[in-house]
């Protein structure tokens, strides 16, 4: 299996993880950002006002059909860009020295791709989650296009670009830093060597410890990267939930209105749900990527034996 396919499959699995396991958290987050309520109040309102427990899965089917493919393309962009820059290096030392810069560039390219591809899907999802639109996702998209035009489907694109570029770039660097920091601990380094060398002998302790360390690195990177960009996500959600073209016309105006009405704390609404959702996505991506890469290495070993 080629490495580019590893990125594609891992991205698809990560996107599917976000839809299946994180959509209820995304619904809670969206309601918090639009209505400025606490988690408990938000959950109560969703159940009472939005068709019981099914309310947590409002707008579910459209992302279900599209998020896996979009995430696959985004992570494929990331993998291809970083390999493109790494292959231009003239030595392994230069590759190591430039790796973090290349990760930043690749992460930014992946984030920009995600924003462009998924903005209309986000608009439809948020309208279904918050406004109680009666009908299917395609009907909602058609309704938005008829009444608001193409602009309506791309409302909130600018804050969405900031939201998607920054966390991808920050996450990749923080995750790499955490991994290297853990590798500096002798016990961890020994465990990782056992995990790599004795995987076929089923060294359960080494493998499970490596999973915990990988998850911890992913969690730390996820929290830091998403907390820093929560204000962009709040502004994006508020803009996309608004149906009037004369309100929340741009990012700066929306930010000013939010701060004036709800103070600066409103810019961090839904932070907990954002972190939980992103962690589910990234863990799914990392798990599948590790499996695919291990399979690719095994196939290459068999090929050259």
Looking at mean pLDDT, say which of 53-62, 90-99, 169-178, 274-283 comes out highest: 90-99
Q: Has residue 172 got a pLDDT over 80?
A: no
Q: Tell me the residue range of the domain where 180 lies.
A: 3-304
* Torsion sign (Cα): 198, 201, 206, 207: positive
Residue of higher predicted confidence among 249 and 21: 249
**pLDDT 10s digits, 280-299:** 666 666 666 666 666 665 66
- Total domains present in the chain: 1
**CA pseudo-torsion sign 276, 277, 282, 283:** positive
For residue 270 the two structure tokens come to 């839904």
Minimal CA–CA distance to 177: which of 217, 128, 216, 206?
217
Which CATH number fits the domain that encloses residue 293?
Answer: 1.50.40.10
Nearest-angstrom CA–CA distance, 250 and 160: 12
Question: pLDDT higher for 216 or 195?
Answer: 216
Please write the tens of the pLDDT for every residue from 84-96: 999 998 888 888 8
Looking at residue 7, its pLDDT comes to 60
Could you please report the per-residue DSSP string of 47-84? HHHTTGGGGGGTT-HHHHHHHHHHHHHHHHHHHHHHHH
Go through 19-51 and write b for each residue having 16 or more CB atoms within 10 A of its CB, e for each that does not: beebbbbbbbbbbbbbebbeeeebbeebeeebe
Lowest mean pLDDT across 50-54, 71-75, 86-90, 150-154: 50-54
- The token duo for 35 is 């209505």
Q: pLDDT band at residue 107, thresholds of 50, 70 and 90?
A: confident
Least confident of 35-49, 128-142, 197-211, 259-273: 197-211
How far apart are the C-alpha atoms of 204 and 293, rounded to whole Å? 19
- pTM higher than the cut 0.75: no
Give the pLDDT score at 280: 66
Higher pLDDT, 260 or 169: 260
- Quote the mean pLDDT of the chain: 78
The whole-angstrom separation of Cα 169 and Cα 272 is: 20
- The predicted-structure confidence for 28-61, as pLDDT tens digits, reads as follows 888 888 888 888 888 888 777 656 777 777 777 7
* pLDDT value of residue 123: 92
pLDDT confidence of residue 200:
45
């Amino acid at each position: 299996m080629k490495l580019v396919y590893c990125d594609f499959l891992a991205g698809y699995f990560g996107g599917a993880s976000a839809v299946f396991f994180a959509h209820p958290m995304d619904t809670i987050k969206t309601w918090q950002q639009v209505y400025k309520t606490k988690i408990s109040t938000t959950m109560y309102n969703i159940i009472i006002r939005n068709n019981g427990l099914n309310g947590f899965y409002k707008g579910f089917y459209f992302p279900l059909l599209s998020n896996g493919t979009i995430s696959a393309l985004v992570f494929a962009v990331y993998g291809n860009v970083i390999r493109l820059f790494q292959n231009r290096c003239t030595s392994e030392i230069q590759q190591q020295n430039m790796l973090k810069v290349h990760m930043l560039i690749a992460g930014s390219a992946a984030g920009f791709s995600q924003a462009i591809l998924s903005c209309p899907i986000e608009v439809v999802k948020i309208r279904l989650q918050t406004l109680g639109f009666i009908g299917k996702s395609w009907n909602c998209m058609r309704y938005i296009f008829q009444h608001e035009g193409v602009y309506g489907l791309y409302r909130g694109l600018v804050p969405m670009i900031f939201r998607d570029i920054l966390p991808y770039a920050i996450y990749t660097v923080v995750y790499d830093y955490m991994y290297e920091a853990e590798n500096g601990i002798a016990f961890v380094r020994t465990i990782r060597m056992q995990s790599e060398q004795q995987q076929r002998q089923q060294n359960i302790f080494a493998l499970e410890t490596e999973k915990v360390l990988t998850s911890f690195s992913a969690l730390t990177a996820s929290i830091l990267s998403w907390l820093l960009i929560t204000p962009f996500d709040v502004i994006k959600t508020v803009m996309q939930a608004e149906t009037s073209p004369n309100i929340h016309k741009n990012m700066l105006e929306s930010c000013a209105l939010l701060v004036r009405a709800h103070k600066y704390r409103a810019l961090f609404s839904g932070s907990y749900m954002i972190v939980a959702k992103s962690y589910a996505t990234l863990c799914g991506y990392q798990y599948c990527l590790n499996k695919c890469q291990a399979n690719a290495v095994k196939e290459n070993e068999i090929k050259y034996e």
